[in-house]
C-alpha cells in the first residue's frame, strides 16, 4: 500500500480509537497479550528469518541479541501489555473547569495526541510495547521499524491486528510501514497532513536524522552525557557507591554516568578511593591534569582531551575533571551535558539547592544515582522513552506524554 494511503487510513481511524472506553481498550490489550502467546510459534519462525539474514550480513552479536525473540521474550511482551492494561487511563480527565465573568464554563480536557509515528531500530519488542502505550491513550500508531526486524515486526503486527478485529476495533489502529527504505522513512517524516507526532527510539544517529528531516513535531528522546559532581562536603562512601552504581550497573544506557567532577579541595583524599573502587570493573578514567597529578600508581587513569567532556561512552570509561567551585561545576555541566540527568553529592544545603536550581537538565539529583531516571523508577508504570527536549514532555515519558488537551466550552449564547 502507498505510504500516503496508509497514513490517511490511520488518520481516519483516530476518531474511533479516541473515544473507546477504558474497558474496551483494556479488553484489546489483554486479547493481544493472549494472542501473542498463542501465535508464538509463528512469531518465532518469522524472527528466525530475520536472525538468519542478520547472521548472513554479519550483524554484531549485541544486535543479534536485541533482535532475537524467544518464548520467554514473547511472554514478556504480553506481560508488558497486561501491565499497561492495569494502568489508569488518563484520557477524558477534565484538568480544570472555570467559570468566566460572562458565564462561559471553560474546561481543559485530556485527549489523545491522535496519530503517533514511532521510528525505531532492531528490537521487535518495541512493536508491541509502543502499540500498547499508544492504544491505551486512545492513539492510533504507525510503526516504522528497522529493516533487520521486518519479518518479526510483520508477524507481531499481524497478531495485534487480528486481536483488534476480534474485539471489533478497526485494525488500522496499528499500521506497519513495510517498505523500510530511507526514502520512505524520509517521506513518512513529512506526513503532517495525517500524523500528529513522531517519536524516534534508537541511537544518536537515528534521532539526529529524524530531528533534521521531520516536519511533523518530534519528541526527541536523547542521549545522556550524565555528570556526577562530588562537592567538598560529600560523604566519600556515599559518593563512591553512587558513582560506582551510576557508571557500572549497566553501561549501555542513557542514564549511566559518563563524567565525574570533583571539588579541588578533596582531590587528594577522594581520587585514590574512587579510583580503587572503579578499578573493580576496570573502568578507564580520562582525567584532566590536576587529577592525573594526584592519581595513585597503577590506577587506570589516562589524560583526557577536550573531546572527552562531551562524550557519551556507553562503556567502562568515565571522564574526570577537577573544579574550583560549585559555579565551575554548574557551568561545565550546562556547557557539556545533553539535558538528561545530573547529580551532586554534597552535605551542603546551599550547594544542593543551587545545583537543583541552576543545572539545566531533565532530572537533577542530590545524593542519588543518575540511574533512577526511568519511567518505572519514577512510578509511571511504563515508559515510551526519555525526553531530553523541553517542549511537551521532559524526562521519562509515561502515558501522560502521549496525551494532549483540548478546551471544552459550555455557553448559553455568549458573543463578543
Judged by the rule CB under 8 A, the positions of this chain that interact with its own copies are 14-15, 18-19, 98, 100, 104, 106, 111, 113-114, 192, 196-197, 211-212, 215, 217-220, 235, 238, 241-242, 244-246, 249, 330-331, 334, 356-358, 360-369, 371-373, 377-379, 389-392, 394-395, 404-416
* Nearer Cβ to its own copies (150/364): 364
Q: Phi and psi of 98, rounded to 5°?
A: -125, 150
* Nearer Cβ to its own copies (296/409): 409
Classify the C-alpha dihedral 337-340-345-346 as positive or negative: positive
CA nearest 142: which of 178, 179, 175, 182?
Answer: 175
Q: Where are the alpha helices (DSSP H) in 19-105?
A: 22-38, 40-56, 61-67, 71-86
- Contact between 185 and 144 under an 8 Å Cβ cutoff? The reply is yes
Q: Which residues pair with 143 in a beta bridge?
A: 118, 176
Q: To the nearest whole angstrom, how small is the minimum distance from the Cβ of residue 16 to its own copies?
A: 10
Q: To the nearest whole angstrom, how small is the minimum distance from the Cβ of residue 23 to its own copies?
A: 17
- Contact between 27 and 167 under an 8 Å Cβ cutoff? The reply is yes
* Nearer Cβ to its own copies (156/234): 234
- Contact between 93 and 109 under an 8 Å Cβ cutoff? The reply is yes
Q: Where are the alpha helices (DSSP H) in 180-308?
A: 182-188, 204-213, 236-248, 267-279, 289-294
**Whole-number Å distance between alpha carbons of 320 and 339:** 19
Q: To the nearest whole angstrom, how small is the minimum distance from the Cβ of residue 278 to its own copies?
A: 14
**Whole-number Å distance between alpha carbons of 88 and 84:** 8
Q: To the nearest whole angstrom, how small is the minimum distance from the Cβ of residue 391 to its own copies?
A: 4
* Nearer Cβ to its own copies (20/163): 20
Q: To the nearest whole angstrom, how small is the minimum distance from the Cβ of residue 232 to its own copies?
A: 18
Q: What angle do the packed helices 40-56 and 150-166 form, to 10 degrees?
A: 160
**Whole-number Å distance between alpha carbons of 79 and 129:** 10
* Nearer Cβ to its own copies (56/416): 416
Q: To the nearest whole angstrom, how small is the minimum distance from the Cβ of residue 218 to its own copies?
A: 7
SS3 83: helix
**Whole-number Å distance between alpha carbons of 29 and 82:** 7
Q: Where are the alpha helices (DSSP H) in 68-181?
A: 71-86, 125-136, 150-166
Q: To the nearest whole angstrom, how small is the minimum distance from the Cβ of residue 26 to its own copies?
A: 19
Q: To the nearest whole angstrom, how small is the minimum distance from the Cβ of residue 340 to its own copies?
A: 11
**Whole-number Å distance between alpha carbons of 216 and 307:** 33
Q: To the nearest whole angstrom, how small is the minimum distance from the Cβ of residue 3 to its own copies?
A: 18
- Contact between 211 and 218 under an 8 Å Cβ cutoff? The reply is yes
- The 8-class DSSP code of residue 58 comes to T
* Nearer Cβ to its own copies (160/219): 219
CA nearest 372: which of 341, 337, 334, 401?
Answer: 341
**Whole-number Å distance between alpha carbons of 356 and 160:** 44
Q: To the nearest whole angstrom, how small is the minimum distance from the Cβ of residue 159 to its own copies?
A: 29
* Nearer Cβ to its own copies (181/410): 410
Q: To the nearest whole angstrom, how small is the minimum distance from the Cβ of residue 326 to its own copies?
A: 13
- Contact between 44 and 69 under an 8 Å Cβ cutoff? The reply is yes
**Whole-number Å distance between alpha carbons of 215 and 313:** 31
Amino acid at each position: 500500500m502507498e505510504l500516503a494511503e496508509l497514513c490517511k487510513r490511520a488518520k481516519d481511524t483516530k476518531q474511533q480509537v479516541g473515544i473507546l472506553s477504558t474497558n474496551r481498550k483494556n479488553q484489546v490489550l489483554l486479547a493481544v497479550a493472549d494472542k501473542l502467546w498463542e501465535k508464538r510459534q509463528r512469531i518465532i519462525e518469522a524472527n528466525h528469518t530475520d536472525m538468519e539474514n542478520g547472521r548472513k550480513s554479519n550483524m554484531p552479536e549485541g544486535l543479534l541479541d536485541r533482535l532475537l525473540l524467544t518464548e520467554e521474550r514473547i511472554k514478556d511482551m504480553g506481560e508488558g501489555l497486561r501491565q499497561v492494561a492495569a494502568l489508569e487511563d488518563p484520557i477524558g480527565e477534565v484538568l480544570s473547569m472555570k467559570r468566566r465573568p460572562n458565564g462561559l464554563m471553560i474546561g481543559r480536557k485530556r485527549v489523545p495526541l491522535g496519530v503517533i509515528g514511532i521510528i525505531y531500530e532492531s528490537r521487535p519488542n518495541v512493536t508491541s510495547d509502543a502499540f500498547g502505550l499508544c492504544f491505551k491513550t486512545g492513539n492510533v500508531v504507525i510503526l516504522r521499524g528497522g529493516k533487520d526486524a521486518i519479518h518479526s515486526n510483520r508477524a507481531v503486527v499481524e497478531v495485534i491486528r487480528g486481536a483488534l478485529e476480534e474485539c471489533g476495533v478497526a485494525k488500522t489502529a496499528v499500521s506497519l510501514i513495510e517498505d523500510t527504505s530511507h526514502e520512505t522513512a524520509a517521506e513518512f517524516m513529512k506526513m503532517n497532513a495525517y500524523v500528529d507526532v513522531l517519536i524516534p527510539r534508537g541511537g544518536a544517529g537515528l534521532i539526529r536524522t529524524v530531528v533534521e528531516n521531520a516536519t511533523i513535531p518530534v519528541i526527541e528522546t536523547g542521549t545522556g552525557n550524565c555528570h556526577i559532581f562530588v562537592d567538598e562536603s560529600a560523604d566519600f562512601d556515599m559518593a563512591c557507591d553512587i558513582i560506582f552504581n551510576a557508571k557500572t550497573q549497566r553501561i549501555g544506557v542513557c542514564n549511566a554516568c559518563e563524567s565525574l567532577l570533583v571539588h579541588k579541595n578533596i582531590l587528594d583524599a577522594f581520587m585514590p578511593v574512587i579510583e580503587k573502587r572503579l578499578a573493580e570493573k576496570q573502568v578507564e578514567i580520562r582525567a584532566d591534569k590536576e587529577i592525573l597529578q594526584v592519581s595513585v600508581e597503577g590506577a587506570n587513569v589516562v589524560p583526557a582531551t577536550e573531546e572527552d567532556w562531551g562524550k557519551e561512552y556507553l562503556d567502562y570509561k568515565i571522564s574526570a575533571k577537577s573544579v574550583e567551585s560549585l559555579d565551575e561545576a554548574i557551568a561545565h555541566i550546562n556547557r557539556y551535558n545533553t539535558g538528561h540527568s545530573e547529580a551532586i553529592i554534597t552535605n551542603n544545603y546551599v550547594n544542593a539547592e543551587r545545583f537543583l536550581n541552576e543545572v539545566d537538565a531533565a532530572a537533577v539529583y542530590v545524593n542519588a544515582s543518575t540511574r533512577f531516571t526511568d519511567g518505572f523508577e519514577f512510578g509511571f508504570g511504563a515508559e515510551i522513552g526519555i525526553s531530553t527536549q523541553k517542549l511537551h514532555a521532559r524526562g521519562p515519558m509515561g502515558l501522560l506524554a502521549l496525551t494532549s488537551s483540548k478546551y471544552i466550552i459550555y455557553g448559553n449564547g455568549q458573543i463578543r
